[in-house]
Amino acid sequence: MMKIIHLSDPHIYIDKIHGIDPVSKFKKALSHIKNNHSDADVFAITGDITDLGDKDSYQLFIQVINEADLPENLKPQLIIGNHDNREEFKLCFPDIETDPNGFIQYFKDIDNKRLIFIDTNLINTHQGHYCDERQDWLNNILSKTNTDTYIFMHHNPLALVKEESDGIGLQQKKEFQQILTKNNKIIKHIFFGHQHITSSGSYCGITFSSPRSTWSPLIPNFSNEYRLGSANTEANYNVAIIRSDALIIHTEDFLKTDVNWFE
């Protein structure tokens, strides 16, 4: 069995954003993870690590992680989102691998499984972009992979309702769809963030899931067209349980600490 903790969009900043303190929420998530999932194999944070991509926010993120004193297995695997800044990120995290073109893309092999972390950022836009160079890198890795594979990305690779209402999702959907379809025997799940909502389903024969943001969880509405809103909903993170016969995604409402456990 493998257990993956999937947290997204902490949007760390030195102050409140829209009246919400991203740091205190993130600290609560970390302590919940440490207290409940010390047996996890992977802890992934799928982008929008910071709200503005500035050095102070990355340093604050590092400080919060260090103060959380997580065990080695819970040291977070990071990728960037549209709110991050690739160059500042690389300066603040010099040990995180990049591909030969300087994009923050890498893979980790754990327990006979391959986890691929990809970079869908393009400066000065909130849209997701996956250029030819990045596609080549991913295609090359996948062509050499013959084990169960899991993709971690910031942007939603598909429109979550209609194409027309997916302004800030991944723009190279067709190209990415081709990569997924070609490799849907080995890619077992796609983990993403970005929309700040829980979602799950399947695409190109591959299941996917996303948690809300720890900073600003949103709710979607589909009555007329896809739209997002805030309604003081609860932040969460996801827990993926991967067994030989199943993949299960749980949602952790980590702010609900006053639980009446049935025993």
Enumerate binding residues for Fe ion (CB under 5 A). Answer: 9, 48, 81-82, 194
* CA gap 25, 236 in Å, rounded: 10
Name the CA dihedral angle for 54, 58, 64, 70, rounded to a multiple of 10 degrees.
160
Q: Nearer Cβ to Fe ion, position 83 or 189? A: 83
**Minimum distance from residue 87 beta carbon to Fe ion (Å):** 18
Q: How far is CA 247 from CA 2, 189, 205, 236, in A?
A: 9, 9, 14, 19
Q: Cα–Cα–Cα angle for 177, 183, 185, nearest 5°?
A: 125
> Positive or negative CA dihedral for 127, 131, 136, 137?
negative
Q: Which residue is nearest to Fe ion (CB)?
A: 48
**Minimum distance from residue 119 beta carbon to Fe ion (Å):** 13
**Minimum distance from residue 46 beta carbon to Fe ion (Å):** 9
Closest listed residue to residue 143, CA positions, set 176, 178, 182:
182
Q: Nearer Cβ to Fe ion, position 126 or 188? A: 126
**Minimum distance from residue 234 beta carbon to Fe ion (Å):** 16
Q: Does residue 68 sit in helix, strand or coil? A: helix
**Minimum distance from residue 48 beta carbon to Fe ion (Å):** 3
Q: Nearer Cβ to Fe ion, position 185 or 227? A: 227
Rg (CA), the chain: 17
Q: Nearer Cβ to Fe ion, position 131 or 186? A: 131
Which positions ≥6 away from 203 have C-beta within 8 Å? 157, 158, 177, 180, 190
Q: Nearer Cβ to Fe ion, position 48 or 166? A: 48
Q: Nearer Cβ to Fe ion, position 114 or 154? A: 154
Name the CA dihedral angle for 63, 65, 71, 74, rounded to a multiple of 10 degrees.
-150
**Minimum distance from residue 18 beta carbon to Fe ion (Å):** 12
